[in-house]
Structure 1
Amino acid sequence: MSIDIHERAEVFKALHLRQKAFVLPNPWDVGSAKMLTALGFEALATTSAGFAFSTGRGTSIGDISRSEALGHAAEIISATTLPVSADLENGFGHTPEAVAETIRLAADIGLAGCTIEDTTGDPDNPIYERGHAIERIAAAAETVRRLERPFMLTARAENYLFGRPYLDDTLARLQGYEAVGADVLYAPALPDLETIKTVCKEVSKPVNVVAGIGLPGVTIAELERAGVRRISVGSAFARVAYGAMINSAKEILETGSFASFKGATSFASIEKLIKSVNLEE
């Protein structure tokens, strides 16, 4: 493994340990990864939904395979000088052993971290039983401990995304994940800043919050004051880009006007961002 990968891993760990919150944007392809790098972000993370949209597929568990997700992550790593974390869904397997193997493979390709969620992929029973979910994160953490470099393991409690607004169970899951070795804790779709503040107070590891799912109008400063250390954007950038295209296309079809093209970024601006990323080690 190259020194560069070790350095990126150390940088990514350090970002989580400082008192200032950082934004972790989620590119969905090589071009967006290079542009976000050039714009000045400090690290990147993949988005399973954004990648799925770019390949014309849905976002259900199983729509993207482990090999595809890791291949995509490797492309993002090769497109940037920044640390890269990956959205690895539920670890691409139900058993602790399957999750552990996913972590090993993720480290092998040079990721600085990844996220594992507690979703089953079964619409009738969407969330793993708490004890089993904790065992899966324990297996992932044990694999991380055997690595020769940092690897920020993020454990996600998905209750709120699946119509289960159970704060007590969500906290118990996050605390369980922390106890077995998760480095970062994450419960997407928490409803408000007070709930986020409660989560941050009840755990001691860094907390990730996703912008773009609820929380309209929230700012980095507000999340930082609530105790958040990492702010990801999930599929929001991809959805903003696709939304602009869809709205422009609808306007053309419905009115015959190409006026929406006035807001398009210039060739020169895009090329400048892409070419400014120096990938030479």
Structure 2
Amino acid sequence: MPGSELYEKFMALHTRDGGLVMPNAWDGLSALMLADAGFEAIATSSAALAATLGRSDGRHEVTRDEHLEHARLLGRLAGLPVNGDFEDGYGDTLEDVAATVEAAVESGLAGIGVEDTSGNPDRPIRDFDEAVNRIRSAVDAAKGRIVVTGRTDNFIQGRPDLDDTIRRLTAFAEVGADVLYAPFPPDLDALVAIVTAVAPTPVNVLVSPSDKVLTVAELQKAGVKRISLGPLLYTQAMGALEQATKALVAGDLASATTGGMSFDRINELLARTTN
């Protein structure tokens, strides 16, 4: 599907009544499971991808090419629009960000997220002007062929400044970001303030505000247009694995090996690949 057509299809999911729930896959089978469940789009998770490779998220330990290959795999198997959770755009310069967006378009992604993070633990959030210019560079490179999400990580980087968060998101919208995203606002009032300030640009929420997990209907009522899950489905799966390993260490083979997905089910899903 040409980039502009894919862009229109993906954006339509954001602008319709209710928006969309966009879960994040971390491997081929999880992508197939989400497609089989009926979701209309999926995303990568930079944190889950990094963890599967034994690396840390947000420290430039996963390369752009590795993430692109991963995203192409998910999209090919699921046959769904894929949004790439591409950290800070994979590079220090504006040209790097533009090159990442162009590579994402060429890889057939429907969307790409660019954060205002730096990968530097001593200065995790980029200065305002630099962050805005990087989103502008992403939008200019996108040319209406891929949905650009402008994201600020203030809240998850220890900067609980709602005013600065809204200032950044508003500026991202002004330079053309299609979707806006600030993971884990402190509460519902803060979330509503964000949604109101940047309207009509769609807002993505990572599960919920940080103080309480809401329902999809409650988030939709607050004006949220996209709900993503980041690495949390992956951590749910890893939590089940940890419980199984504890049972195994205790010598309880039955608890360690029963209750999981059958290979018949796995093969059924694999048989549905679009490849």
TM-score after normalising by structure 2? 0.94
What SS does the corresponding residue of 2:250 show, helix, strand or coil? Answer: helix
**1:262 lines up with 2:258 in the alignment:** yes
Matches within 5 A, 1:1-281: 2-3=1-2, 7-145=5-143, 149=145, 151-204=146-199, 205-211=201-207, 214-254=210-250, 256-277=252-273, 279=274
* CA deviation after TM superposition for structure 1 residue 78, in Å: 1.3
Task: List alignment gaps of at least 5 residues for structure 2.
Answer: none
Amino acid at match of 2:197: E
* CA deviation after TM superposition for structure 1 residue 255, in Å: 5.2
RMSD between aligned residues: 1.7
CA–CA distance in structure 2, aligned partners of residues 247 and 214 of structure 1: 26
What SS does the corresponding residue of 1:231 show, helix, strand or coil? Answer: strand
Q: Is the 1:117–1:156 Cα contact (8 Å) retained in structure 2?
A: yes
Amino acid at match of 2:187: D
CA–CA distance in structure 1, aligned partners of residues 212 and 28 of structure 2: 29
Q: Is the 1:157–1:174 Cα contact (8 Å) retained in structure 2?
A: yes
Amino acid at match of 2:170: Q
Moved more, 165-174 or 61-70: 61-70
Amino acid at match of 2:239: G
CA–CA distance in structure 2, aligned partners of residues 260 and 219 of structure 1: 32
What SS does the corresponding residue of 2:124 show, helix, strand or coil? Answer: coil
Change (3 A) 1:152 1:215: farther
CA–CA distance in structure 2, aligned partners of residues 213 and 121 of structure 1: 24
* CA deviation after TM superposition for structure 1 residue 52, in Å: 1.2
CA–CA distance in structure 1, aligned partners of residues 51 and 132 of structure 2: 30
Identity of aligned residues (%): 41
Q: Is the 2:184–2:208 Cα contact (8 Å) retained in structure 1?
A: no
Q: Is the 2:186–2:209 Cα contact (8 Å) retained in structure 1?
A: no
Deviation readout 1:215-272 (Å, 9 max, x if unpaired): 5431101100111000000001111111110111012213535324332122222332
Amino acid at match of 1:36: L
CA–CA distance in structure 1, aligned partners of residues 192 and 256 of structure 2: 40
Amino acid at match of 2:129: G
Amino acid at match of 1:165: P
Q: Is the 1:9–1:83 Cα contact (8 Å) retained in structure 2?
A: no
TM-score after normalising by structure 1? 0.92
* CA deviation after TM superposition for structure 1 residue 124, in Å: 1.0
Task: List alignment gaps of at least 5 residues for structure 1.
Answer: none
Amino acid at match of 2:149: T
Q: Is the 2:67–2:86 Cα contact (8 Å) retained in structure 1?
A: yes
Change (3 A) 1:274 1:193: farther
* CA deviation after TM superposition for structure 1 residue 175, in Å: 0.2
CA–CA distance in structure 1, aligned partners of residues 4 and 139 of structure 2: 18
Deviation readout 1:114-152 (Å, 9 max, x if unpaired): 10000011111110000110011011111112x5x4x11
* CA deviation after TM superposition for structure 1 residue 92, in Å: 0.9
Deviation readout 1:69-92 (Å, 9 max, x if unpaired): 111111112112111110110011
